[in-house]
Amino acid sequence: MNGAEYIVRFLEKKGVDLVFGYPGGAVLFLYDVLGRSSIQHILTRHEQGAIHAADGYARATGKTGVCLATSGPGATNLVTGIANANLDSVPILAITGQVGVESIGRDSFQEADIVGITMPITKHNYLVKELDNLPEALEEAWQVAREGRPGPVLMDIPKNVFTGTADFSEVVLSTRKHKIPFKNGLARQLGRITEVLKKAQKPLLFAGGGVVSAGAWEELEDFTKYTGIPVVTSLMGKGVIPEEEGGSLGMIGMHGKPAANLALSQCDVLLALGTRFSDRVTGNPQHFLADTCIIHVDIDPAELFKNVRVEFPVVSDAKKFLQMLLQVLREEKVSFALEPWLDQIKAWAKEYPLTFSQNSLLKPQAVMREVARQAVNQPIVVTDVGQHQMFVAQHYPVQGRRNFITSGGLGTMGFGLPAAMGAALGRPGETVILFTGDGGFQMTVQELAVMAEYQLPVKIFLINNSCLGMVRQWQELFFNGHYAHSLFTGGPDFIKLAEAYGVKAWQIRKPEETKEIVSKALQHTGPVVVECLVDAGENVLPMVPPGGKPSEMLGRWHGEAHISRLS
Amino acid sequence: MVKHTLAVLVENRPGVLSHVAGLFARRGYNIESLVVGETEDQGVSRMTLVVAGDERVIEQVTKQLNKQVEVIKIQDITNEETVDRQMLLIKVSADQAARQEILQLMEIFRCRIVDIGRRSLIIEATGDEGKIEAIVQSLRPFGIKELVRTGKVSMVRGVK
């Protein structure tokens, strides 16, 4: 058996049925074997598309995304996607070809030191120089990508390792156990945490992406039902519990919902699960909730005390922690009387609702609300990055599990389209709704070809404001309206562009057209582009200015037309 | 800022040094010195790292190091009773007049002369940081032509 055959057998054995990639010289032998295997390969139109698709696939399914690329430019085109997966803790195995071992270091054709390049943006990476090391490296890579806090792993494999043959029948894989992220003492800590929660007058639960990684939806639901503690989420945690009435208060942070941010700024105990307290949540981390008792639960010990001061650091995954905590609360028959606190939050929600100004122009928020109203079958919602992403976070109530996919940490424009493609391929038969902007859409638009080829049920709502909206907003607010290079003066005809790829396209120009076209788009089988010509001057509000406190939101309050600061 | 000494056991695999050194660069930590070599177990190397930083930084360094797949164990031995050694090679100007004086000095420090040239000597010394520093200072007046020193290696005393 040669190395290429071993890799393909390995992937089959791990249950991989779908990979994304782009062939080239260094991986020809791998592709030769792959092409004869049972694994489906999606030929994207750019390696960046392949890695983002693998990312979207992994987020939508909970499985490990697998992505292939050739040496040199093929590998370097993966870099943005790897960094993206790394910051959002998505399990991905990226296999890149490398020039033959003899040619390494000679600046050979299509040679790039991808292991060196991706070292800071992978959970771990390998250059497998010898065929003998391949089985163990593959096994370890697969394990590392998934265990503990997931992340991307890259394996760089020289050409001659693909072609080299060996007798692999004798291979005994070391079942070496890696460092276990759990520490003892959880039971003792639970007792103390229970005491703190008992005394809490204004407790708040803050759920991050770690709750999704741990698959702790049921545990979270049980916990909140029992305790009645209100829940806020980060962008990555959006959708972990339903967002309609009585569910989550919504997202906190820079563009969080007013009531959620006010609850955050006033709570006396914050139970934070699976979150890394990014700067988009904390503002200035040194002044973050100085008077609040913070319980921080994360599977990665390095996240504890990294950004904010914490009273109770707990190393655990969210699922196990919630199960154990709820058990203690039930055994001790702890009851919570949180009515005054919940009433206060309700009063805030009433006084500071999430609104947007209506005029004769089409508003992006209105499009999102209409799509959410009509798309009733719990679609997977994917976004690109920018203003529209924040509008979706604020105005689109996500339902179901693993149904919200967005580039959180890295904020990668161009992520949306290929990620939506990966999600659709990972969950066949389910509708995917993609919101994207005219900026990000053009960064990876070539993947429309794949959408059309496989007739993927992806409904693309292209929020076109003819500018880079978030950049324009910051320039309006913080650079005295000096719109340096953020306004698109030319641009393609998006309808023709979609049609050129064989994708059905419609345009919404006026608010009154929204209902009908959204309905048509959702009913259409296969991919659709709906270009929404929206008010170019719309801003994402409320907004906590960079470095501000959660309560210092800029917005339009009490029906005023001008923007002012709350508190 | 306090200097911390970390003893890090790592798997002896290609790329491990880059993984560890790269971690320091990208997280903005400062390495004062790093020494790496094989241990009694061929598959395991030991790194002695000297890092400057407050408690928060050192805690992060330790945790981030621990996440590296090849890292087996990390020990902060800053406050332990340890034997610390650095090695120094120093080429010092030494004409006939100065030679005797240098030899006497080196006797006091128990250093070895390992090369004698017409106008210079190479001196080899081992010791903890204080001693190495003192040797360098004492030789400075004679004119140092070349100096090379290793980072610190440390071992905890006793049977711990």
- Asked whether the beta carbons of residue B22 and residue A119 sit closer than 8 angstroms, the reply is yes
* CATH superfamily of the A364-540 domain: Thiamin diphosphate (ThDP)-binding fold, Pyr/PP domains (3.40.50.970)
Name the average pLDDT for chain A: 95
Contact between A186 and A192 under an 8 Å Cβ cutoff? The reply is no
Confidence of residue A174 (pLDDT cuts 50, 70, 90): low
- The string of pLDDT tens digits covering residues A309-338 is 999 999 999 999 999 999 999 999 999 999
At residue A518, what is the residue type? V
**Contacts A144 to B, Cβ<8 Å:** 69
Q: What is the ipTM of this complex?
A: 0.86
SS3 string of A180-241? CCCCCCHHHHHHHHHHHHHHCCCEEEEECHHHHHCCCHHHHHHHHHHHCCCEEECCCCCCCC
Distance from CA of A302 to the nearest CA of B (A): 5
Residues A404 and A399: their CA atoms lie apart, in Å, by 8
Query: Does A119 reach chain B within 8 Å, measured CB to CB?
Result: yes
Q: Is residue A178 over pLDDT 70?
A: no
Instruction: State percent of chain A over pLDDT 90.
Output: 89
Confidence of residue A187 (pLDDT cuts 50, 70, 90): confident
Sheet containing A152-158: which strands, arranged edge to edge? A40-43, A18-22, A65-69, A92-98, A152-158, A124-127
| pLDDT for the residue numbered A188 | 85
Question: What are the residue ranges of helices labelled H in B10-142?
Answer: 16-27, 55-67, 96-109, 129-139
| pLDDT for the residue numbered A550 | 85
User: Quick one: which H or E segment has residue B153?
Assistant: strand B153-156
Contact between A223 and A322 under an 8 Å Cβ cutoff? The reply is yes
Q: Is the CATH number 3.20.20.80 carried by domain A3-170?
A: no
Cα-flanking dihedrals φ and ψ of residue A491, to 5°?
155, 155
A186 vs A206: which has the higher pLDDT = A206
B19-47 burial by CB neighbour count: b if 16+ within 10 A, else e? bbbebbeeeebebebbbbeeeeeeeebbb
| pLDDT for the residue numbered B11 | 94
A108-124 burial by CB neighbour count: b if 16+ within 10 A, else e? bebbbbbbebbbebbbb
Q: Does A333 qualify as catalytic in the annotation?
A: no
Query: Does A126 reach chain B within 8 Å, measured CB to CB?
Result: yes
Which among A220, A213, A206 is positioned nearest to A88, based on CA atoms? A213
- The string of pLDDT tens digits covering residues A62-101 is 999 999 999 999 999 999 999 999 999 999 999 999 999 9
Residues A274 and A208: their CA atoms lie apart, in Å, by 5
A563 vs A497: which has the higher pLDDT = A497
Confidence of residue A562 (pLDDT cuts 50, 70, 90): confident
Enumerate helices (H) and strands (E) in chain B, giving the number of each: 4, 9
Residues with Cβ within 8 Å of residue B120, at least 6 apart in sequence: B91, B92, B93, B94, B145
Lowest mean pLDDT among A369-373, A504-508, B30-34: B30-34
* CB nearest to B66's CB, from A115, A179, A305: A179
Rg of chain A over Cα atoms, rounded to whole angstroms, equals 24
Q: Does A496 qualify as catalytic in the annotation?
A: no
* CB nearest to A301's CB, from B26, B63, B68: B63
Q: Do domains B3-76 and B83-156 have the same CATH topology?
A: yes
| pLDDT for the residue numbered B154 | 94
* CATH superfamily of the B3-76 domain: ACT domain (3.30.70.260)
Distance from CA of A79 to the nearest CA of B (A): 16
- The string of pLDDT tens digits covering residues B41-64 is 999 999 999 999 988 889 999 999
Domain map (residue ranges) of chain A: 3-170, 186-351, 364-540
* CATH superfamily of the A186-351 domain: TPP-binding domain (3.40.50.1220)
- What SS3 class is residue A9? helix
Confidence of residue A175 (pLDDT cuts 50, 70, 90): low
What is the longest distance spanned by two Cα atoms in chain A? 76
Q: Do domains A3-170 and A186-351 have the same CATH topology?
A: yes
Q: Is residue A179 over pLDDT 80?
A: no
Could you give the angle at the alpha carbon of B145 between the alpha carbons of B140 and B146, nearest 5°?
Answer: 100
Domain map (residue ranges) of chain B: 3-76, 83-156
Query: Does A124 reach chain B within 8 Å, measured CB to CB?
Result: yes
- Asked whether the beta carbons of residue B14 and residue A120 sit closer than 8 angstroms, the reply is no
Q: Does A47 qualify as catalytic in the annotation?
A: yes
- The string of pLDDT tens digits covering residues A230-260 is 999 999 999 999 887 667 999 999 999 999 9
Query: Does B11 reach chain A within 8 Å, measured CB to CB?
Result: no
pLDDT lower than 70: segments of chain B:
159-160
Instruction: Count other Cβ atoms within 10 Å, centred on residue A470.
Output: 22
- Asked whether the beta carbons of residue A301 and residue B66 sit closer than 8 angstroms, the reply is yes
| pLDDT for the residue numbered A337 | 95
Residues B66 and B72: their CA atoms lie apart, in Å, by 8
Architecture of domain B83-156: 2-Layer Sandwich (3.30)
Work out the average pLDDT over A453-478.
Answer: 97
Which among A550, A552, A551, A554 is positioned nearest to A542, based on CA atoms? A554
Contact between A240 and A211 under an 8 Å Cβ cutoff? The reply is yes
Q: Is residue A177 over pLDDT 70?
A: no
Distance of CA B148 to the CA centre of its chain: 11
Taken in order A86, A88, A91, A93, the sign of the CA dihedral is: negative
Q: Does A520 qualify as catalytic in the annotation?
A: no
What does the block give as tokens for A107? Answer: 């600046």
Query: Does B68 reach chain A within 8 Å, measured CB to CB?
Result: yes
